[in-house]
Chains A and B, each alone.
Chain A
């Protein structure tokens, strides 16, 4: 197995204007909560809320590019959005291996994204398989 229980990874991600614009361009989610500052303020937020699934893109990068091997595949993923993410927020991503299943080359991570105020904005689990 490439990883063992307790292995920990930390990365920083920034939700830039480019990411926000490209996400909308690719998936056409123009909901005003993400695109209309005044609408978001009226709903009680501090500004446009970034699409939660941008964070899944960061997770995809983590699994696909940041592990010691490229021989991996995501089996499943669960994510809970706990607090809003705003444009240009700098997020700290922290993932820890919590379970390994050597019989089927499978690894489970717990992860969190925190904003610069140390508030958890999202958390969840990722199950990956090592391709052999």
Chain B
């Protein structure tokens, strides 16, 4: 799966998890850009991403992400 396809999937996951159909996630997006992205929805997002891509992250990996681009790098590395 290339970056664009991953980003499309991530957009679907964010829209569903955050109940916001108008949300547009870009590689540069950070948690600070999205009001609904709080600590609890963060957990739901990670669970949904791990489930969708059939991968598992470590807590260290997640803590190192600065934006969605780094999240995609991590997904691609699995």
A interface, CB within 8 angstroms of B: 75-76, 99, 101-106, 108, 127, 129
State the CA gap A104–B47 with chains docked (Å). Answer: 8
Specify which of A102, A105, A108, A127 is in contact with B56 (CB 8 Å cutoff).
Answer: A102
Within 8 A of A (CB), among B37-75: 40, 42-44, 46-47, 50-51, 56-59, 61-62
State the CA gap A75–B47 with chains docked (Å). Answer: 11
Q: Give the chain B neighbours of A76 by CB distance below 8 A.
A: 44
Between A and B, 19 residue pairs with Cβ closer than 8 Å are A75-B43, A99-B51, A101-B46, A101-B47, A101-B50, A102-B59, A103-B46, A103-B50, A103-B57, A103-B62, A104-B43, A104-B46, A104-B47, A104-B59, A104-B62, A105-B59, A106-B43, A106-B47, A127-B47
State the CA gap A105–B62 with chains docked (Å). Answer: 12
State the CA gap A62–B46 with chains docked (Å). Answer: 25
State the CA gap A7–B34 with chains docked (Å). Answer: 36
Given A101-B47, A104-B42, A105-B59; 13 other pairs, CB 8 A cutoff: A75-B43, A99-B51, A101-B46, A101-B50, A103-B46, A103-B56, A103-B59, A104-B43, A104-B47, A104-B59, A106-B43, A106-B46, A127-B47
Q: Give the chain A neighbours of B61 by CB distance below 8 A.
A: 103
State the CA gap A65–B37 with chains docked (Å). Answer: 30
Q: Closest CB of chain B to A64's CB: distance in Å?
A: 18
State the CA gap A99–B46 with chains docked (Å). Answer: 13
Specify which of B44, B51, B58 is in contact with A103 (CB 8 Å cutoff).
Answer: B58
State the CA gap A104–B57 with chains docked (Å). Answer: 9
- A76 nearest in chain B by CB position: B44
